[in-house]
Each structure stands twice: as C-alpha cells, then as structure tokens.
Structure 1
C-alpha cells in the first residue's frame, strides 16, 4: 500500500503533465476597496505622525516622513481621480476632512517641503471631479487659513517655487468660480457695512473703502501680488480678472467691491509704480548705441544735469516695463468686468487718485528749464498713450489732461465720448466720498487743468531751446494724432467746422501743387533713386488713409463719399501749433536731427487726418484761385458730336482741370517754408561746389548703415558720367540685391531708430566706418573710385581730409519766429551747423517733401470728391 501511494504521488510527473494552477488574483488597480484600503493606510500613518508629541531635538526624520506621506496622499488622490468610479477614497477624504490634517501638519511643522506637499494635496482635491470640494465651506476655510498663515504671517520662509504653487492653486480656484458661479458663496461672504464709510470720511482715513480681508481672502491675496513678475504675477493677474468677471453674476460681490478698498488698492498701486519713475529724464542716446542717422550729425550725447536718468538705462526700462504692464492689467480688468458699477468705480479711482492726485501735479510742476522734468512727463504720457487701448480709460485720461469741454460746439462735435451707463446710488456715494477725502483743505489751493493743461505744456516745450524738450513734445503730439485723433483735433489743433458750401479744390490745382512740391524735391538734390522711394511712399500713405475710412459692410470697400467725415474741419494758418511747426521748419538745417524726425512725423500725422482740409497750409486755398483770361484749348472735332449733357459734363471737366496761377504770396504755408530752405541750400552750393556729390555720399552711407532697405538710392552711378538725366516720372528698375519694402518708408525707419525712445535700438557705429570711403570719394566731385596713381606721375596735390571737410561750419541767416523775435543760437543772430550735420538734414528733408507729395496724391485718389472737385 505504501508503494502504491508513492507511485500515485510520482505518476503525475511521469507523463509530463502539470497539475492545474490556481487562478491568478484579479488585478487590484481597478478595485475601489483596495484603493480605499491603501489610501486609509497612508492617511492613518500621517495621522499617527501628527499626533506624536513634538521633540524639537529629533524632528528631522519625522518631518521627512510627513513630507513622504503627504506626497503619497497627493499621488493617491490623483490616481483615484483617474480611476473608474466609484471613488471611495475621495468620499473618505471628504467625509473625514483629510485636508485638515494636512493643513495642521504644514502649519505646525514650519517646514517648507511639508508645506509644499500639503498644497499639492489641496491642489489634487481641487482638481478632482467626483467630490466637489470647492462647494465645501470647511474646505474653503481650511485652505484659506493655511495659505494666509504661510504667505501673510511672515513666520514662514518659502521660496519662489512654493509661492508659485500657492498662486497657481488660487488661480485654479478663480477659474473654477468663473465657470461655476454657484460656488462663489463658499469662498466669499459679504459682511460689508456701507454705513461705516461715513465714519472713515469723518476720520479722514488715507485709504477709501472698507478693508475686510476675511470676507474674500482669495481676492486680497491675488491683488497683493499683481505687481510680481514671472508666473506669480501672471497667476495673480489672471485670477483677479476672473474675480472681476464674476461681478456680473453676483450682486453681493458687485456691491462688496464697490464698497471695499479694492479699487483704492489698484489705483494706489498704479500711482506707486509711476512714482518709481525718475522725475528728470534724459532721452539722449548713449555713444554705444547711437544710431547712424544721429552719429552723422552734430548730435551730442552729453546731458547737462547728472541727476537726469537715462531712458536707455536698465533701471529705467525695468521700472517703465512694470508700470506699463500694470496699466495693461487695468485695461484687462475693465474689459473683463461685467458690472457697470464696478467699472465706473474703478474709473473714478483712476481719475481722482491717479490723474488728479499724481499725474497732473507732475505735469504742473514740470519745466524745460531744468532740462529733464518736462521731458520725463511728456515721455511718460506718450508711453501711456501708445500702450492704452481701452476707450474709456484713454478718453478719461485725455479729456482731463486736455481740459476738454463737452459743452463747446466745435469740441462737442469732434469729441466722441464713450457712452456711460447711469450711475447707481452706491457708486455716486463712493465717488463723493473719494472726492471729499482728496479735496485740499483750502479750496484756493485747488488747481485744475482749465488753468494749465497738457496743451500748454506741449506748446511751451515745442518753443523751448532744449532740443530734448522739443523732441518729447513733438513725439507726444504725433502720438495724440495717431492714437486719439478726435480729442487731438478738438484740443491741440483748435479746428473749426468746415461748411459744405466752401469752394472745393480742383484737380487742376492739385496737379499744380504736385508739380511745385516735386520741383522742391529735385531742387534739394536730384538723382535717379527718387522714383523708387516715391513708389514705396505711395503704398504707405494709401494704407494709412484707407484705414481711416470705415467700411459700409464687411465685404465692401472704403467709401468716403458715404461716410462724410473727410474734410469736416478747417485748420487755420494762424493755429498756434501750426505756427510753431512752421517756425521749426524754417530752422530745419540747424535743428537737431532727432527733432527734425519728430517734426516731420508730426506734420505728416496732421496731413494724414482725412477730417482736416489741406487748404492754405499744404494746398492752395481755393478762395485765392486766379485763372488766366486765355481762350483755353481749341475745340476738338469730336466735340461737335456731343449732346448737351455730354457737352456740359466735358465743359465741367475742363473747368476743374484748369490750373490756377501760382503766386508766391498765396502759396501754401509749408511750401513757403521749404522753398526758403531750398534757397538757403543754393547759397551753400556756392560755398561748397561739390555739395550734391556729398549729399549723394551721405545717402549711400545712411543706406549702408540701414539693416532694412536703401534710404533713397542704392549704389547710383556717377551723375557726371550720366549722359542724360533720368525723368522723375520714369520709374527705374531697382538694382539687384537692394529691394525696398513698401511697408515702411526709409524716413519712418529713421524715425524708429533715432526717435523711438520707448524701445531704443542698438545701432553700432562699426557699420559706418566702411561707408566713409564712399563719402571720401565724393570730396573731389566724383562718385567713382579714382584709378590707382602711377609711380611715374607726380604725386597729387594735398587735399583736406574727410573729417576736416565735414566739420567745417556752415552759417545761415537769422530767421524770425512767429512772434517777431529772431531765432538764433549765437550772439550775432546767426545759425551755424557743420557740413556733416547739414548733409543728414538735407536727406531727411528731401524724403519728407516726398512724403508730402505722396499725401497730396493719395488723399485725392482715395477720398475722391470729398478732397478735390473732379468735374
């Protein structure tokens, strides 16, 4: 029996067969009970560690275990969220308030890794979808209590990564509130008492509004960090935008923000960043980054006052970038805010606390005599206008600084104020409280822009002897015209409504004006490259003018005939700004090059305004047209076949095409100023016989230092060797390798490089060393490279060096200003500049006149009957 039993045990192995295996246990990854048991083990381990008595002498290992268990819990929560339902672990975490233990571990330990792991647990719970922790009041209070202790108490030392994780969590909650407005009540509880506002007013508190962080700690923690750079600031700003967007769906939140000090904190934050900017500013380019167009002139890089901060310094650019980014945040808040009352309260605080209390006083205290304060204010306002996009914010700022009176008929016609909803009693009471707290003790001390406004500052600085002040004022003027044309036309230029019964310009007069201005172009310097420059300018001007004509439908073309905005206003030649621009134009050759770049930009900005008529200042005044008494062109044989209507139409066409007589007394204002400059240049040609060759060399140098495209010409042949002069009407073929981009004129590129103080370009002078050889070739009257001298010929006579020739002084006669005073820079009323300076200004002036020709032609082409009478 024993043997049989043994055989029975061995038999299964003899046949090579195996006993059937036990079934493998079912995978536990999808088993909710197994996941719950695993989560409970980690939680109970954490709970045991937290319940142990503290031993400060041996806390290191315990803190490491806390950190490890918290990371494990955060990982299990995220795995549970991705696992199939039911999510028993999340239900257990919710019912047992696991997060409170995590918060207690973080607050008691004062250990940053433990704090960071606790925040990770809260973030995992917020991201879970099964159990809505965001709709739990205990969860919200626990999280806010933890975050406030960590980042507000000052007893925790945390690094940037931990603070970023906290702000990312707060941003996530804000985004959830935006998508689920019903959860707002768990994070925000209003206990505001508007009646306490009267107490604050009587006590003259410095801050307006009720500070109640316990009502909405999330909002306060976000607003305290909107100034930060990097991801912390991005999370704070975006999260706060979502909070303001929620005001449209919660009346309690809307009233709470209006009554709170949130608008005050935002306005005071903007003011604090503005106060960081230097009071005195220098916009002179440093030697290391001096653009070539300024290097080839008498431009000085030395500032008279050492206290003035350079606009190109890293410190200033950092402060300016921070200020402008916060201003952009203001715009975003106004765009996202869904409550009209909240939006109006923010605008009230912007006006009263920032504009009236800070920006306008800095404008009032500025002066061009200290060589920096007025430059700073003008530069800051220019930068603000260039970055502002919100219509309410821009209109409020300029309407206040320009002292625009909506009751004036001409101004009211020009100013289109954004429509404002009616104020609620809460916002009215809020504004009255704000004005009462900011009012001066003595009413006589109050100074309003009606006495001295931004226009007065601009005009004072345009007529200043400091070139930086002139440049800053001109830059602001052109920015006003480009960014807020309606207010600029009503306040800066003092326009008058033009009657439709005024005599219209004719095509014949336009042809005459184009011809006369073209003659000015060629009188300054004539060469073949003018046609190529002009063709590009035409494209630039067409884009600028067509952009001002609104479309009647999404698929239609601009139709100025139906729009009716073209030619609505007249600009008198006696306008203060126009007279100041004319005075600057008369001293063009001795002006600083950057001033001339800003001057030409301002004039072109005025000329591009389709609402303005060009009569008398850029075009001949139609009331001064005079025609010869000649019989006109003889009748053509085909005219006998015309009927009465056709004959009348042809007669009207001939009438409009007649050219009026040209009179120097009735010539446009700008033509007279440029003609005088042309005559001055003719006098210089007598003293410098090879002036035209030097001008050509200067154009080549400016082209060689440009990284974009040729300034006006590209490698032109010698004018002496050309058998015939190229006609202005014949467009030559561009040379190979030099194609001009029609998107931007060369003069505009020069303005961007030399005059864009907001973002200075780094232009090395190394590129201008080689082109000096080209200018050296033109000193002897030839643009070609002289042949190598033979050793058998006598040496050539000694010639002055290039530097000596270019540094010789050129004297110009005195010029009378509009007020009758003599414009001079010397004791004997003479204006002086080096030949080097003159050459660059001639190049700038010539392309400016080309721009004027392009404006005249394109306006007539685009605006049609609104600009000139065709028949």
Structure 2
C-alpha cells in the first residue's frame, strides 16, 4: 500500500471513529441533529420550486435521511434521547410535513414517511397522542395520496400504507388515543383506497381497516361515524365491480368469446374476487358492533346479492355458450369459500326464498344515536333499491328452480357444475337444503322405521355383489376396508353430525356442545327426516344415473358424489329411497329347522310364565331371531336407486359379452389408474395436447374453502377458521383423482397426477358424435380398447336377449330423440355452443363412443357401489340405525 492509500485509509477510519464517538455522546448527537435540521429549513426556504430545483431537492432528501438515521440510531441507545425530545418540543414534524407535501418529489416524500414512522416506532414523547402530530401526519398522507399528488412508486406506496397501518395498530392497542385520530379519519378513507390492491399494500390496508372497525365498539362516536360513512357502500360496490369483471361465459376450452376455466388471467380475476369476499368475512369476524355489522350485511344483500348475483343467475343460459356454467360455478366457489354464518345465511336465505324473520326489535343495550344512524342508512338503501326495483323476485324463481332446470339441460357441462353446486350445499349447508332443495318428511318415531339386521346384511351384500360382478383381480376386502374408513370420515365430518357423534360432556351433564344456530331467518335445526321417493332432485339424479355408460366421466363423478352426499347426513333416514323400507318387508315360509326353533322358543316362553326371567330371555331370543330373518327380495319393493343400479350391472354384463377381451381391458385400465396413483406428482403433458395451467389444491377441490386469503402483516393468519385439515377423500374421490389425472381434468378433491406414458394413447376417451371422427380416433389409437362402440345399438340389442331388460332400450331412444334435437339446433346455428365442446361433453346413447369410455365408467360404477355399501354399513353402527331385537 502506497503513502496516499495509507493516508486516505487513515483519514476514513478517523472520520468513522469520530462520528461513532459523536453518536455515543448525547450532546454531540443533538448538536449534529440541530445542524442537519437547520440546513434543511434553510434549503427549503431558499428554494422557490422544489419540483424544478433538482439540486435543492437532492440536498433536502439527504438532510431528511440524516435526521431519520440519527433518530433511529438514538432510539436503540441508552437514555437520554435528546434528539427525540427536541423533535417533540420543537414539533419539527410540522415543517417536515410541509416540505414533503410541497415538494412533489417522490424521494423527499419517501424520506418524510420514513421520518414519521421512526418517531412512531420510538414509542417516546407520546407522539401518537399529540393532536399536532396527528394533524401533520394525516395532512401529509392525504396530500401525497390525492389525485393532484405525484405518482408514487410501488415501494413508496408500501411505506405510506404501512405507516397508516402502524397508526391503526396503536389505536387498537391504545383505544384512548381514538379521540386524537378520530377527527383525522381521512386515514380511514386512505386505507379504503388500497384494500383492493395486491401484495403488501393490500395486506396493510385491509388489516388496518379491520383494526379500526374492531376498535369502533369502544367509541360510540366512532361507531356512529362508521355506520354513516361510505364504508358499506364502497365495500359492496367494490365487490360487485370485481364480480362484474369475471367472465360471463366459461368452458374448459376457449374461443373468441368463451374464456377457458384454466386460463391464468381468469384464475387471477377469480382469486382477486374471492380474496375480497374473504375480506368481507374477516371484517364481520372482527366487528364487535352489532349496528356496524348490520349495516355491512344490508349493503351486501342489496348492492351485491340483489343487484348483481341474483340477476346474473336469473339471466344465465346454456344456449349462449356457457353463461349458466359460469355463474353457477361462481356461486359454488362463493359458498365454498365462506364460513361466516351471517353471510351464508344471507345468501342462501335470499336465493332459496326462505321466509323473513322478525328483526324489528332493537338489541338491548345498543346506543340510540347509533341505531338511529343505522335506520337512516337503511332508509337511504331502501330508497335506492326502490328506484332500481327489478320485477323478478326469488319468490317467483329461486335457486331450486334454477338448479332443477339446469339438471335438465342439454349441456353436459351445465349439468356437471350444477351437480357440484348441489353437492356443496348438501355437504356444507345441509340445513338450508331441507324443505328447499329436498322434498322431505319428518320421522317422529325413527326406531320404527329402521331396517332389521337381516335386511341390512342383505342389502350390503347385494351392493357388494353388484360391485363384485363388474370384475377385477384386486384384493377387494382390503379395498372395502379403505372404503369403510373413508365413509366414517365423511359421516363424522358432516355439518349435521356433531350433535350425533360428539361425546357426552360428563356422566352428570348430558348437554351437547353448543352450536351457533340462532341466526335471524336461518332455518331451524335439522331434525330426523327422510327423502320422499318422488323428490324432484332425487328423480332427476336417477334419470341421469340411468344413462350412466354414455354420460361424460365428469357428470358420472358428480352425480355419484351428489347421491352419496344425500346419504351422509346423520339426520337423513335412508329407508325408502336408498334401502328398502321396513313396511315393505315380506318373508318366505321358514324351513322345518328354523320353524322348529322358533316354535321351541315360543313354547318355552309360554310355559315359563310372563313374569319369569326365562320368559323375558325367550322373548328376547325370539325377537333377535325374527330380526335376523332376511326379507324376500321383491323387485316391486326396491327403491328406484337399487333398481337402476341393477339395470346398469345387467347392461355391463351385456357389454362384457359383446366386447372382446373385456375383462383383460378392464384390468388393464384399473392397473393404469393404480400406476398413475403411485406416480410422482408432475404436470400432465403429452405432445398431443397443451399442458394445462397449474391450479391450487383449493381450486381443484369440490369441498374447497376457496383461494387463500390475504396475509396479515403482523401474524400468520387472521383468526381464520378455514385452516382445518381436509378430510380424507373417499374411495370414489381417490379413484376420481387417478381418473382425471389421465384426462387432464381437475378432480373434485385431489391433485392431478399423471398416468403412465402409454396410458393416454392406450386408453383414449372419445365421445365423438360422428362415426367418422370416432373411427379416426380409434385408428389413431390402434388398439382393441380404442374401437368405437355404439352403446345405443348395443343396449337395444341386449333388450331382446336373455337376461336383458327392454327398459334400457327405451331410455336410449328417449335420449336419442333429445340428441336429434340438439343436432338440428347445431345444423341451423341456433345453438351457441361450439361443435367441439358439444361433442366432447354430450355423448348420447345413439352416438359412437370408445370402449375406453365404457371401461372407465365401469370402474366408476364399481367404486360407487362399494361406497354406497360402506355408507350404509357405517351408518348402521354410527347412528344406531339397525334393529337387532
């Protein structure tokens, strides 16, 4: 090192040492601070226009930075802190705020914001309790975020909103400072302007607003101000604006006017909307004021629910290319994302046209002024609604009417998404489905309607026999054990099951855990009930089930899921629609041995005398003997569901005789799914089709809670009750994961998994309506399993053969007539759906479908049969539904 280098190094070290020594000395530190502040004022006064004087602006920025650095360093050192005291006594924040607001320079603004944040974080001199400090800071924030201010960069914007958030944190921890900041509540509107932003800016804004609303309960004046403010209107219109940005038409594939459901831009819009919806939920969770909460809910109902969501459902149609698919999907995602009881009650109460509750009474203890303010706000809302009154009303056409109409649609995609919506309501909000979606009747004496042990064993064996007749080489005992575990999980996790399966609190106190169910207008607690056989929803589901082998795979997965969801509520009696009703039991004449045994028991009872213990034992044995008897299996007494399942099994037996090597192909398909299930999770991609966009697990799940909410800046989650671990998927759901991984289609519960490399070509899924196209697909696949197969013709041929039923052919004819009408619409151009989507999602019984399609649906049917058997068996033990005596 030469002389000059050593000299410069020594000089630099000496300077740093001198500065560190001065920083440790409070007097020298204060002297330096005063000097920097004086220079700042001098530069500001000597500059006439900082927006044009770049040299002066740069010097001001440096001085501000030095002042902030000194304050930040001093706050970490031992007392005394003369610089912080000087800032408080001299109120230097007043001119500094003026410097920043008049500079129109982002760098100066950023340093000023940092300066104020440093004073607040010092927690000395009670800056947050000082009126002048709050006035200067709020003026600064209003000016720099206003329309006439300089455009702030992303980093500066984050610092500004973070500073506002820090103030709300202080207000939350120290409610006594509300009076200081209440007069300066433009802070409230500043946060409102940023709640829809993404990233940290939106996180800080939303959380800060939550803290203000949470604090409102400690101040009547603040509570009344929030009620009278534009908070409810802005939040509701903001939510409506995000909903309006969602695509009106939605399909798995896109064209010039239909958006693909897996498109990144669509997913981004949907995530933003659902995130804002979850913010609504968090606001209600944090709000301790009844009046503020009521005001928010009123605006949610009038502005969003009545003016946007309901009209979009009402005006939707599957004729114009998928608007029904879109709006029904959005409603399902809304219901799956929310778990706040008030919001759920508001949505379903309105859409299902439930009777209104009496809400005229004012809650005890509420402030008169706040209540009066809310009434004025409600009147303004009612006036606005009267001016825009739509002639349509849920009393004329509600969600039940829409769902049943969509299930009769010609669009298979509309049927699929409607089934998903119904399934979601049945699983998560079953109390709203009773007496609305479902036509039920109460069971006042449930024990008398329970099946006997003999009938129960007979029905479980019947379902398992049908499942076994489909074939396969797996260890079905092990498979069924897994099905039973899955059924137990689903039954215990159902929303109605807690009161049935929760353990007693103690031997002396048999009260069950309290469940909040006293919401205004909410339906009553679910009581024991059962489906009527002519229930329109059940009839429609069974109509769809009858055409099982020609339905699209996703439709079959959805209809089987919905049928199992009907059976997992503990209060739902399954006798009469899923299994036989005891009133229809009839018995064959007993054989000699059984008759002799029963006669001996009767004689023993009569000889012992009615008061003796032997008589009671003999009577009990006789009752057990009678309950173990198996009723005659009479076709006329079977529920339609069992009849349809029997017909499907017979159809499959006919296909086994018609299709060469059917059992080998079925086993190969099963093994392909098992291979896919065991493979690592990778994006599904083949050269023949584009790689689908990645989707989060919650977007793929049918019982998802919606996309993830925003992150709270100061903690990992915001009291989010949605963090429970998901229930283990059922056997059918696990199968669906393997199936849809090969299709490249999102499953209803699991992550997409790839199949083996040859599986997509070896097992093509071809629903093409045109024989030529089907033949081309089969030729390309080049295997026996790819040969197109005319199911309509096969069903009709089987109807005249031994062991076949002509009803299947009749169903095929009816379906064919509907298919002819669809083809005429397409020919004349009246249908808005593109031909490719119609061919992919609307296979008909008179259309050419691949053998692969039959094989796939056969495995779905087998899983469904085993799952039904598992649910019936687990219910028997979990809910004591079987009589043994």
TM-score after normalising by structure 1: 0.78
Return the alpha-carbon distance in structure 2 between the equivalents of residues 490 and 617 of structure 1. Answer: 17
Cα 1:25–1:393, aligned 2, differ >3 Å: closer, same or farther? closer
Match of 2:758 among 769, 777, 781: 769
| Correspondence for 1:549 | 498
Cα 1:459–1:346, aligned 2, differ >3 Å: closer, same or farther? same
| Correspondence for 1:516 | 462
| Correspondence for 2:223 | 254
Does residue 1:448 correspond to 2:398, yes or no? no
Alignment of 1:127-526 (within 5 A): 127-189=121-183, 216-282=185-251, 284=252, 306-405=256-355, 421=363, 424-440=371-387, 445-500=390-445, 502-526=448-472
Q: Report how far residue 827 of structure 1 moved.
A: 4.8
Return the alpha-carbon distance in structure 2 between the equivalents of residues 101 and 457 of structure 1. Answer: 63
Return the alpha-carbon distance in structure 1 between the equivalents of residues 124 and 350 of structure 2. Answer: 54
| Correspondence for 1:849 | 865
> Counterpart of 1:650 in 2: which secondary structure?
helix
* C-alpha distance after superposition, 1:779-815 (max 9, x if no partner): xxxxxxxxxxxxxxxxxxxxx9406753343333486
* C-alpha distance after superposition, 1:726-768 (max 9, x if no partner): xxxxxxxxxxxxxxx9933452035457475899966556x34
Return the alpha-carbon distance in structure 2 between the equivalents of residues 522 and 337 of structure 1. Answer: 56
> Counterpart of 1:496 in 2: which secondary structure?
strand
- Partners of 2:331 and 2:421 within 8 A in 1: yes
Return the alpha-carbon distance in structure 2 between the equivalents of residues 605 and 363 of structure 1. Answer: 24
Q: Report how far residue 306 of structure 1 moved.
A: 4.0
Alignment of 1:666-685 (within 5 A): 666-685=637-656
Return the alpha-carbon distance in structure 1 between the equivalents of residues 578 and 599 of structure 2. Answer: 39
* C-alpha distance after superposition, 1:130-166 (max 9, x if no partner): 2111111111111111122212134302210000001
Q: Report how far residue 696 of structure 1 moved.
A: 1.1
| Correspondence for 1:744 | 729
| Correspondence for 2:791 | 810
Alignment of 1:599-678 (within 5 A): 599-630=559-590, 632=594, 634-635=596-597, 643-678=614-649
Return the alpha-carbon distance in structure 2 between the equivalents of residues 577 and 176 of structure 1. Answer: 54
Return the alpha-carbon distance in structure 2 between the equivalents of residues 863 and 25 of structure 1. Answer: 79
| Correspondence for 2:829 | none
Does residue 1:836 correspond to 2:821, yes or no? no
Provide the alpha-carbon RMSD of the alignment. Answer: 3.6
Cα 1:559–1:277, aligned 2, differ >3 Å: closer, same or farther? farther
* C-alpha distance after superposition, 1:178-233 (max 9, x if no partner): 000111111112xxxxxxxxxxxxxxxxxxxxxxxxx5111101111111000000
- Partners of 1:78 and 1:124 within 8 A in 2: yes
| Structure 1 residues without counterparts, runs of 5 or longer | 1-23, 190-214, 287-302, 711-740, 776-799
Alignment of 1:691-710 (within 5 A): 691-707=662-678
Return the alpha-carbon distance in structure 2 between the equivalents of residues 182 and 674 of structure 1. Answer: 69
Return the alpha-carbon distance in structure 2 between the equivalents of residues 845 and 560 of structure 1. Answer: 42
> Counterpart of 2:791 in 1: which secondary structure?
strand
Does residue 1:533 correspond to 2:479, yes or no? yes
- Partners of 2:549 and 2:858 within 8 A in 1: yes
| Structure 2 residues without counterparts, runs of 5 or longer | 1-17, 515-523, 682-725, 765-780, 797-805, 822-843
Larger radius of gyration: 1
Name whichever structure is richer in helix by fraction: 2
- Partners of 1:481 and 1:489 within 8 A in 2: no
Return the alpha-carbon distance in structure 2 between the equivalents of residues 247 and 742 of structure 1. Answer: 38
- Partners of 2:318 and 2:414 within 8 A in 1: yes
> Counterpart of 2:879 in 1: which secondary structure?
helix
Greater Cα offset, 497-506 or 742-751: 742-751
Return the alpha-carbon distance in structure 1 between the equivalents of residues 680 and 37 of structure 2. Answer: 70
- Partners of 1:587 and 1:815 within 8 A in 2: no
Return the alpha-carbon distance in structure 2 between the equivalents of residues 59 and 462 of structure 1. Answer: 70
Does residue 1:870 correspond to 2:884, yes or no? yes
Return the alpha-carbon distance in structure 1 between the equivalents of residues 287 and 748 of structure 2. Answer: 30
* C-alpha distance after superposition, 1:495-542 (max 9, x if no partner): 221121643211111011011111111122243332222111111111
Does residue 1:99 correspond to 2:93, yes or no? yes
Q: Report how far residue 250 of structure 1 moved.
A: 0.7
Does residue 1:33 correspond to 2:27, yes or no? yes
TM-score after normalising by structure 2: 0.77
Q: Report how far residue 772 of structure 1 moved.
A: 6.1
Greater Cα offset, 235-244 or 628-637: 628-637
> Counterpart of 1:602 in 2: which secondary structure?
helix
Q: Report how far residue 816 of structure 1 moved.
A: 8.1
- Partners of 2:443 and 2:528 within 8 A in 1: yes
Q: Report how far residue 697 of structure 1 moved.
A: 1.2
Return the alpha-carbon distance in structure 2 between the equivalents of residues 817 and 361 of structure 1. Answer: 41
- Partners of 1:549 and 1:559 within 8 A in 2: no
